[in-house]
Chains A and B, each alone.
Chain A
Amino acid sequence: MNQVLRKRLARDLKSNFGRYLALTMLIALGIYMIVGIVGMSEVVLQGTENQKSVTFVEDGQFSVFLPLSEKEIAELSENNTVIESMFYTDLQAADGSKLRMMKNRKQIDLIQLDEGRLAETNGECVLEKRYAAVHALHCGDTVTAAGTEFTITGIGSTPDYDQPIAAFSDVAVESSHFGLIFVTESQYQQIRDTTSQKAEEYVYAYRLGDGMTSDKLKQKIKDFDFDYTKVNDKYFRQTIDEILDKKKEMQDGIRDLYSGSQELSDGLAELENYGTDLKDAADQLFDAYLKQAESTLAALGKDITLTKENYAQELDKAVEELDYRSLRELKEALDGVKAFADGIGEYKDGVGEAYSGSQELSDGVGELKKETNKLLDEIFEIDIDNLISFITAEDNIRIAAAAGDVIMNKNVGLIAGLVVLVLFTYVISVFVIHQIEKEAPVIGALYSLGVKKKDLLLHYITLPVVIAFAGGLIGMIIGFSPAGIDTLASSTYDYYSVPHFAMVYPAYLFIYSLILPPVISGIVNTIVINKKLSQTALSLIKNEQKASSYRQVNLKSKNFIRVFQIRQMLREYRSAAAVIAGMMVCMLLSDISLDCAVMCQAVKTDNLADTHYEYMYLYKYPEDTAPRNAETAYLETLSIPCFDYTLDVSVMGLNPNSRYFEARPAKSKNKVVINNSLHERFKLNPGDTFTLNDATGDMNYTFTVDAIAQYSVGFAVFMDIDSMRELFGQEEDYFNAAYSDTALDIDEGRLYAVTTKADIEKSAGVFVDMMLPMVITLLSISLLIFCVVMYLMMGVMIDRSASGISLMKIFGYRPNEIRKLYLNGNTLIIALGALICIPVSKMIMDALYPSFIANVACGMNIRFPWYLYLGIYGVVMIGYFVINFLLIGKINKITPAEVLKNRE
């Protein structure tokens, strides 16, 4: 008996070969997609992770004004912390591109060579691989920079330039303009010593030792004594000097004030001394006059002691008694002297008072001086430590950037995979139900002949399980082959500077591809067959259609063709549902890629359209006065959380009536204008509030949206410049950015970055190029899946209707009439289904999409233009008609004999 069954298997496979092939292909496609996309992400993720231990990737890096001393490095190296200098000098290559020259690495961020060896002597170099690729340079070629010719001995990458961008503010990698060159230490020194190059950047990378944290390290560096006078950078000096001048001015002022008050006090003290002398003199003079009067009185026979208090009285008495004229004159003279002495005394008291007042003033000013100095020292000391920048590996967008980028791919792949598996399950079940129904008489016969249920079950699930396994296996093989993971990873390799990662084989992908499909297929089959076998053998032999499945619907239409089509659709609802489900899944897949493409394209065109300036200058050391012909602005970078990521937001203080920005922010410290990117991504509308954090994370700024302005470059918040200066505690005319139509004459050393409109154009296009392989892969896979599902399911429909079609042929129905009866109903289903699926899937995907791009700071313009919707609809219909065309062949093959022979 088993032999009979086995023979049947072979026959079944042969007669349904096309269908099994399509089913295999469907599963293979789905698995290929999962393995390809998820596997590619795993390769990059695990590859990056594995590289860490090979390259000794840094925990972070910092740059300083002055190189650290041996002693300082030793101090930082406590607890096994490793510090390595990563000094660099940007050289100009012969073609005008920028080559960042660095020394060979020793302990951190080691160079990963793709080919060749490290530079060993002067005149040799290792070139960063993206730059080498874009410039078509190979080992043995030469490259000229800073007038020096280097022979390329190796090509490779380093983990600290995974995303090889020149500055952190760069929007995208442009290897045609920027690359790295690694030379020996002596070569590096020679170029620095013998050629005139830009200032050297003193960057150190670190790997933390036991118990160390980045924060602790940072504090240590800040705590080092720092002699800023040794800093060479002209603009740094200028800025520092300006600051110090101000400090000095203030200190001088205070000192002047203090010494002034001291002088005043001293003067008054002197005056007071003079007053005392004067008073003493006046008193002596008075006393002399009194003596004179006493002796005069004594001569007149009157012995009276005269004092200051009694002289007037005594003398008056004596004048009356003695009537001596000269006595009167004497008294008058005494009165005069007394008045003089009294006046002197009063004056003296006044001076004394002023003196003590001035003494107090002087003390106060002294105190003021002391306090002010202390304050000034505090203020001016804080900013002047050696540290320019400090960034942990985690926050460094150059490090592990490729890995960060593919996380989204992995998530998309897994979700898409899940959805596709569900679709498989459904398609397989429809397929199996059909197969079993067709076979019902055979099953019944075998069953009644005594074949065990177990054997039958085994027989009927063998093929679907084997097919599912084969499909999974093929999909997995293609997925892991160069056509899968490698192809999909090429966009990563073409953009990021990463070594060619070793292939990885995550266990869960094997489960996904080798175990899930056959298991799903087996389970679905078992359920369906079990249900079938629970019928009696007789009812199976008779293959009774359950009348109930047709009974419900009573059609009133007079149009026979329409009625027939509706009956056909009702009968084939399972297949129709599978087609619609397949359409939905494929729409979702296409929407991911189309959203992505539309968004990247929008970023490209909008960024350009929204850039009204030709030049943007960001200052490292701002000037006092605005350059001529430029519009200034004040820029701060804050951040906004987005899912698990933190994204940068530029806060821009704009002058009223900005020429280059549409935003017209009000004079307010919390009412701001946001750009459309923020509006799109965070669904922020006027009246809403949102919070931004500063880099250290210890300051929060909450703003209220006042209006939305079109400006698609990253995330931006626009404020009135004065309000912003006030909010961030800047001086009245502070600015750190300048925009203009023409190039400005600003010394480069003063600048942090210069961005031209051309730069923006170039970098905006990068994403379109980068996403293209993924977009095309997903689009083609989804179209293929759609077509295969449609082919399979519509094939099942036709198969189930074979005897009906055969009958129609016997009756003399013409081919176009048969098509009308059996296929045109499908046209309606597809046409209507697409009409519903397209917007619904778009809505679902739009809701999911923000989480897919959580790590990218850009707007989310994923509105499809009308012609894209039309295009999708067109492709669906074309796909349908192609499949329809193929199926017409199938219908044509059905002969009248089908009916005549079918019933034995």
Chain B
Amino acid sequence: MFLEVNNIKKSYGSDASYIQVLKGVTTSVRQGQMCVIQGTSGSGKSTLLNCIGGLDTMDSGSVKIDGKEIFGLSPAALSDYRRDYLGFIFQFYNLVPNLTVRENIQVCQYLTGNPLDLEDLLETLGLTEHQNKFPAQLSGGQQQRCAIARALIKNPRLLLCDEPTGALDSKTSRDILILLEKVNQTYGTTMLIVTHNNSIKNMVHKVIIIKDGLIKQDYENSALIPAAELEDL
């Protein structure tokens, strides 16, 4: 297994404000799989993703990526772990506003000695003509594509996406999903995608459904519907 999550627990606050968000989550994802995490709002999806991404510490449990345990790593080691393994895509893109598209992508290119070809990537993501624009000059979809390019440039082993289409209309969402699909096929990138959208689970290999900090359902799709053909996006 590429990603092994074992009985992780996570709580916030103490005394009156104490809240246990993750109550022992166990799951695993194989290399090259696209995986969707679903659940109601406040169920702990983002928390789980952040724990896996090393952005938040867990109280107990274990997360292994490619056999490497990240529980208990120091912040610096976690930082290097993110640098070496992960790509992030956020709901609100989080581009650096004073950098051009190209420069935003270079932010992550800088982090690896072995990046993908920037021109190819721009071409693939349809950003070549926009590469010298600033984020404020782009539409939401274009911005998210830029964010995807930024996440992909260092060819990460694991791509974490927290509601990548959350801020987009259905047409643009579909474009983004097609893109992710294509990336997965081209580079074999393992992906964890948190989403509220119910139909996205049909295009991925594995689906995890969380409720109240526990895994309610965890299954693999036998047949995938290509993103281009998804309904009700």
Contact = CB atoms under 8 A, between A and B. Distances in A.
Interface string B61-98: 00000000000000010011111101010111010111
Given A570-B98, A810-B55, A812-B79, A899 B111 contact: no
Given A564-B103, A811-B111, A812-B111, A550 B134 contact: yes
B27 interface: no
B90 A899 contact: yes
Interface string A444-467: 000000000000000000000000
Contacts of A545: 97, 136
Contacts of A814: 76, 79-80, 83
B120 interface: no
A903 B46 CA distance: 14
Given A547-B137, A551-B134, A567-B103, A807 B96 contact: yes
B161 to A, nearest CB: 13
A319 interface: no
Contacts of A808: 107
Interface in B159-184: 162
A840 B80 CA distance: 46
Contacts of A563: 103, 106
B7 interface: no
Contact of B86 (A554, A560, A567, A812): A812
Contacts of A550: 97-98, 134, 136
Contact of B106 (A560, A804, A896): A560
Given A547-B137, A809-B79, A903 B91 contact: yes
A807 B55 CA distance: 11
A563 B107 CA distance: 11
A810 B94 CA distance: 11
Candidate in B96, B132, B162 with the most chain A CB atoms within 10 angstroms: B96
Interface residues of A, number: 30
B68 to A, nearest CB: 14
A304 interface: no
A545 B132 CA distance: 17
A881 interface: no
A803 interface: yes
B128 to A, nearest CB: 16
B86 to A, nearest CB: 7
Interface in B81-130: 81-84, 86, 88, 90-92, 94, 96-99, 103, 106-111
B83 A903 contact: no
B135 to A, nearest CB: 8
B6 interface: no
Nearest to B88: A810
A813 interface: yes
B138 to A, nearest CB: 9
A560 B109 CA distance: 9
B55 A900 contact: yes
Contacts of A843: none
B60 interface: no
A383 interface: no
Interface string B143-163: 000000000000000000010
Contacts of B84: 812
A812 B81 contact: yes
A498 to B, nearest CB: 60
A810 B82 contact: yes
A546 B108 contact: no
Contacts of A900: 46, 50, 55, 90, 162
Given A810-B55, A811-B82, A547 B136 contact: yes
Given A560-B106, A900-B46, A807 B94 contact: yes
A685 B46 CA distance: 80
B56 interface: yes
Given A545-B136, A812-B81, A813-B83, A564 B92 contact: no
Contacts of B82: 810-812
B52 to A, nearest CB: 13
Contacts of A903: 91-92, 94
A812 B110 CA distance: 11
A807 B98 CA distance: 14
A335 B79 CA distance: 161
Contacts of B109: 560
Interface in A785-841: 803-804, 807-814
Nearest to A899: B94
A897 B134 contact: no
A804 B96 contact: yes
A703 to B, nearest CB: 64
A567 B98 contact: yes
Contact of A544 (B53, B55, B136): B136
Contacts of A813: 79, 83, 111
B190 to A, nearest CB: 17
Nearest to B78: A812
Nearest to B134: A550
B46 A560 contact: no
Interface string A549-561: 0110010000011
A568 interface: yes
A560 B134 contact: no
A807 B89 CA distance: 11
Contact of B132 (A554, A567, A568, A812): A554
A823 to B, nearest CB: 16
A571 B134 CA distance: 13
Nearest to A544: B136
B94 A803 contact: yes
A812 B83 contact: yes
Contacts of B56: 897
B92 A546 contact: no
Interface in A595-610: none
B73 to A, nearest CB: 12
A813 B56 CA distance: 16
A807 B151 CA distance: 12
Contacts of B86: 812
Contacts of B91: 903
Given A545-B97, A545-B136, A900-B55, A811 B103 contact: no
A493 to B, nearest CB: 56
A568 B99 CA distance: 9
A546 B98 contact: no
A32 to B, nearest CB: 38
A564 B82 CA distance: 21
Nearest to B93: A903
A809 B111 CA distance: 12
Contacts of B98: 550, 567-568, 570-571
A903 B108 CA distance: 22
A804 B108 CA distance: 13
Nearest to A547: B136
A257 to B, nearest CB: 107
Nearest to B80: A812
B106 A811 contact: no
A555 to B, nearest CB: 8
Contacts of A568: 98
A811 B109 CA distance: 11
Contacts of B79: 809, 812-814
Contact of A811 (B46, B107, B132): B107
Nearest to B49: A900
Contacts of A811: 82-83, 88, 107-108, 111
Nearest 8 Cβ contacts at the A-B interface: A812-B83, A547-B136, A812-B82, A571-B98, A903-B92, A896-B55, A560-B106, A550-B134
11 contacts: A550-B98, A550-B136, A560-B107, A567-B103, A804-B96, A807-B94, A809-B79, A811-B88, A812-B81, A897-B55, A900-B162
Given A561-B110, A900-B46, 16 more contacts: A550-B136, A551-B134, A554-B132, A563-B106, A567-B98, A568-B98, A570-B98, A810-B53, A810-B82, A810-B88, A812-B84, A813-B79, A814-B83, A896-B55, A897-B55, A899-B90
Interface of A: 544-547, 550-551, 554, 560-561, 563-564, 567-568, 570-571, 803-804, 807-814, 896-897, 899-900, 903
